[in-house]
């Protein structure tokens, strides 16, 4: 990163939010990954609107990061700038049955805010460890709910700095995809359309889903959640189990015995360990069943 780029960033973002040679293990739920050349913590969309077009104009390599819950960064790190969207104090505005939520806001905080206002519709998202921005890009979902059901509109920015507002239809939501995933847009904020509900009933549903997650998912280990997309007509976890891969491990990375759709860091895994497990699972399932498992997890940087 040139001195001029660094100097420009310092005019937009407080110095304490500019971290050089930052270990990415601190910013992903896998808890692995080498250093990013620079990581910028962004809590305000106005900062983002100035930073991204500048990085694009200068040709500087960069990556937009949310909570790092769907990301595997290589052990040799990322040789560019990571722009991390974080949960700002004023990231949620409630107006009647609608919530305007900034991209860096954690799903869990947005769901809790909806509950506090007696608004129903976000219960499914309360245990997903991501941000609103990431959830919209991936059309995140769980337990019968998905973002498509509650998103009214999304404010996005192109790499050149053009601001657009996309309605639900224009978002082209599908299974773990959206127009934002397939085009170079960055989510700035979203308007969620919720419904009035009983606060106790909403709390009860969230507690019930939390219990189910604890029973069925290896939450005691670092992971990126479901590693693979659900293949049409199959369940990834069952295919992996039926391929004899339950508990399969390389170094500190392992296919969870509790839920075979999760690859976990048992404590001392490297990114390469995790990648090897992912690729071996894909190879064995393809060999045994002829089904190609597609990763939900994004690979970033040098392994």
What are the backbone dihedrals phi and psi of residue 188, each rounded to the nearest 5 degrees, phi first? -100, -45
**Residue 110 three-state SS:** helix
Distance CA 272, CA 251 (A): 9
**Residue 54 three-state SS:** helix
For 131-178, give the DSSP string.
Answer: BHHHHHHHT-EETTEEGGGTEEEEEEEETT--EEEEETTTTT-BTTB-
Nearest alpha-carbon partner for 103 in 164, 154, 173, 179:
154
Active-site residues, by number, are 176, 226, 296
**How many other C-beta atoms can be found within 10 angstroms of the C-beta atom of residue 265?**
24
* DSSP-derived pairing of the beta strands 262-265 and 222-226: antiparallel
**Residue 19 CA, distance from chain mean position:** 21
Q: Please list the alpha-helical segments (H only) found in the chain.
A: 3-12, 45-58, 107-116, 132-138, 179-182, 199-216, 236-242, 271-289
């Amino acid at each position: 990163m040139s001195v001029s780029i660094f100097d420009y960033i310092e005019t937009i973002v407080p110095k304490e939010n500019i971290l050089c040679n930052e270990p990415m293990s601190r910013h992903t739920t896998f808890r692995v990954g080498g250093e990013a050349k620079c990581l910028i913590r962004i809590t305000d969309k106005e900062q983002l609107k100035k930073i991204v077009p500048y990085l694009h104009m200068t040709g500087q390599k960069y990556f937009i990061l949310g909570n790092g819950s769907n990301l595997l960064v290589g052990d040799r790190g990322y040789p560019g700038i990571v722009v991390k969207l974080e949960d700002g104090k004023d990231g949620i505005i409630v107006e009647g049955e609608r919530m305007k939520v900034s991209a860096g806001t954690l799903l869990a905080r947005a769901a809790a805010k909806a509950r506090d206002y007696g608004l129903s519709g976000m219960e499914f998202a309360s245990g997903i460890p991501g941000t609103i921005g990431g959830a919209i890009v991936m059309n995140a979902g769980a337990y019968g709910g998905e973002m498509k059901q509650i998103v009214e509109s999304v404010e996005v920015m192109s790499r050149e700095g053009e601001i657009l507002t996309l309605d639900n239809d224009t978002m082209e939501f599908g299974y773990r995809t959206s127009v934002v995933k397939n085009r170079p847009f960055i989510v700035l904020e979203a308007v969620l359309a919720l419904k009035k509900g009983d606060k106790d009933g909403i709390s009860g549903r969230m507690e019930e889903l939390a219990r189910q997650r604890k029973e069925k998912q290896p939450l005691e280990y670092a992971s990126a959640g479901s590693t693979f997309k659900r293949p049409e007509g199959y369940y990834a976890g069952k295919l992996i189990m039926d391929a004899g891969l339950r508990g399969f491990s390389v170094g500190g990375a392992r296919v969870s015995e509790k839920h075979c759709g999760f690859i976990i860091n048992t404590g001392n895994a490297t990114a390469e360990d995790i990648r090897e497990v992912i690729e071996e699972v894909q190879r064995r399932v393809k060999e045994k069943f002829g089904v190609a498992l597609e990763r939900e997890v994004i690979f970033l940087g040098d392994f």
